Structure 1
């Protein structure tokens, strides 16, 4: 495996940390800037929405720019956004900093995902994507406890100081370690958009959205769910999140390896069935703590196992528009996270938090349906896409 792929994993981890690292220190931000907790929460919402929408748009706008150069420019913008965040004197400046980091971060994550498979032989493509996915998943699940730890000791700006320093190191690393990577030949926008009319592609994106929705319905409210069903003390919940995070990071690597060995299609189906079984049976394991923790770690692994397999599947399905498909898949993932949090909140308000795993399992079953429809649909050739676009 090309060592540069592991470097891209580190870069993706640094970028991904910014999204959720703030959630553990919202109260500290609210107190320091004299704003409500709800206003502080908007800093997460705006980031996630921009992150989901911006990546495909920016990828198309920058399609002709050499990839190393584009990565360096994006990292410099990302650095500026984090510096703005560190020195934010009020809410408006902090909000602006979040917008800047979201826009640049969205492009950087997808650049890491599309560059990684181009650095290795086709037979290692899934593993390369899986390694980068380990960085993304690791940042999303480990960012919260890391932000909480640094924020409580040194103040809410400390996590962003760390990210700023890591970004500087990433810029140096990209400049000296990465070779120039020419962009793929540009495919007209109308043809790229025409691929979404293909059931094989559209159902694949729907699968990612539904899968992550089902996962997030419970994960977004995991702490109160654990406290309600197991009576676990708050001091131990941080350990649970850490175990879940380790499992999720491993899931990205395992998913990439499985996609290379078993094939992307089989890996996707295995991940969906496995996650559905875990979520639907998890409520029955809460009386036995050891069994519950085992189920939790299997869930953590499966939650990110599908991502590299789906990326590989999309590359196989539409190789000439693979970059935009990977970007749209990343957007589907983040929209699923946002929608799952909303659905979970509705379940808690109108039913009970105990029902969140079951509702999450329903979305996983729906994702199995869309995955099957995608796999059974025929591949649309480039000539056919051109006809559809006309």
Structure 2
């Protein structure tokens, strides 16, 4: 594996931690800053929204800037945001620091994806993107337990000091090992937005959104699911989250390897279909840990297996706007997480049980499948124009 891609992946781990790591310590933060639990929860909501919106916008505005320089500037801003969070005297001050962190994080992640795709040969592209997504997924799934551990041992503020130190390490590695990469020729914003809104590319982004929404319909409420269906204690639940996290991290690598071997389109369809089947079967395995644990780990791995082939597919479909496509797809992922969590809450309120929430998630995954098939079966715009001209 390309050592530079590994450095980029490690960088995404460092910056990705900041999003959800406070999820398990919101009560502690709320008490320290004298706000309600619901207000403290907005620290996650605002971060996700700013992350999703700012990524594509910042990528367009900075398209001409040399990529390594832009990456280092983004890391520096990210470092400052975490130091500000560490010293936050009020909730409003911390919210401002989170907004700054979300903007820099969104740019660092999409730069990691676009640079990784450029510094390897096309046949290894999906595998490299898979490694980047291993970094993203590991930070998301391991952030909550890591935050709880650090908060219990020290103080919640030390979490952000630690993340700041990790970003310093990333800054040093990027400075030393990553070569300069020229900025892209500016593509008019109207042309990029038109490409994103096209039937072929737009439906591909929707496939990502609904896939993650289907996943988070259950995963956002995984703790009550384990408590209700398997009667697990808190210690066992922590172990299950660890197993889930290990499997989820491996999913990015699996998706990349699969895509490089059978192609992006077949991989996308195979992953989505398999994911829907697993969500349907999951409730039938809760009577036995011997059946449930392997099924859970397959579910976890597949949840992050779509991203590498999907990103490669976007690059193949429209190379000219590939950077903005990758950014929008990353935003679609974030929106899918938010939508799935909200949808799962609605299902829970209406049904009063978590037993069959995975089935509702599977419905959203089927929608993702339909979007993916629709996208794959559309002709690229160039071919459409040629057909019309003929």
TM-score (norm 2): 0.97
Partner of 2:326: 326
C-alpha spacing 1:125/1:376, structure 2 compared with 1 (3 Å): same
- Where does 1:1-390 land on structure 2 (aligned, <5 Å)? 1-351=1-351, 352-381=353-382
C-alpha spacing 1:291/1:182, structure 2 compared with 1 (3 Å): same
The alpha-carbon deviation at position 381 of structure 1 amounts to: 2.4
Report if the CA contact (8 A) 2:196-2:325 is conserved: no
Mapped to 1, the partners of 2:196 and 2:69 lie a distance apart of: 29
SS at the partner of 2:117? helix
The alpha-carbon deviation at position 214 of structure 1 amounts to: 0.2
The alpha-carbon deviation at position 27 of structure 1 amounts to: 1.1
Report if the CA contact (8 A) 1:28-1:155 is conserved: no
Report if the CA contact (8 A) 1:248-1:301 is conserved: yes
Spell out, residue by residue over 1:56-75, the C-alpha distance to the aligned partner (whole angstroms, 9 max, x if none). 00000000000000001111
TM-score (norm 1): 0.97
The alpha-carbon deviation at position 384 of structure 1 amounts to: 5.4
My pick for the range that moved more, 86-95 or 376-385, is: 376-385
SS at the partner of 2:26? helix
Spell out, residue by residue over 1:325-366, the C-alpha distance to the aligned partner (whole angstroms, 9 max, x if none). 000000000000000010001111111222310100000111
SS at the partner of 2:100? helix
C-alpha spacing 1:171/1:382, structure 2 compared with 1 (3 Å): farther
Spell out, residue by residue over 1:52-100, the C-alpha distance to the aligned partner (whole angstroms, 9 max, x if none). 1110000000000000000011111000100000111111111111111
SS at the partner of 1:70? helix
Report if the CA contact (8 A) 2:200-2:375 is conserved: yes
Mapped to 1, the partners of 2:227 and 2:358 lie a distance apart of: 15
The alpha-carbon deviation at position 382 of structure 1 amounts to: 9.7
The alpha-carbon deviation at position 197 of structure 1 amounts to: 3.8
Spell out, residue by residue over 1:171-216, the C-alpha distance to the aligned partner (whole angstroms, 9 max, x if none). 1111111110112222111111111342210110010011000000
Aligned length: 386
Mapped to 2, the partners of 1:330 and 1:222 lie a distance apart of: 23
Report if the CA contact (8 A) 1:347-1:355 is conserved: no
Mapped to 2, the partners of 1:69 and 1:181 lie a distance apart of: 9
C-alpha spacing 1:368/1:383, structure 2 compared with 1 (3 Å): closer
Mapped to 1, the partners of 2:23 and 2:334 lie a distance apart of: 16
Mapped to 2, the partners of 1:206 and 1:164 lie a distance apart of: 34
Spell out, residue by residue over 1:359-383, the C-alpha distance to the aligned partner (whole angstroms, 9 max, x if none). 0000011111111111111011299
Report if the CA contact (8 A) 2:217-2:357 is conserved: yes
Mapped to 2, the partners of 1:194 and 1:348 lie a distance apart of: 38
Runs of 4+ in 1 over 6 A off after TM superposition: none
Mapped to 1, the partners of 2:301 and 2:124 lie a distance apart of: 21
The alpha-carbon deviation at position 117 of structure 1 amounts to: 1.2
Mapped to 2, the partners of 1:25 and 1:384 lie a distance apart of: 54
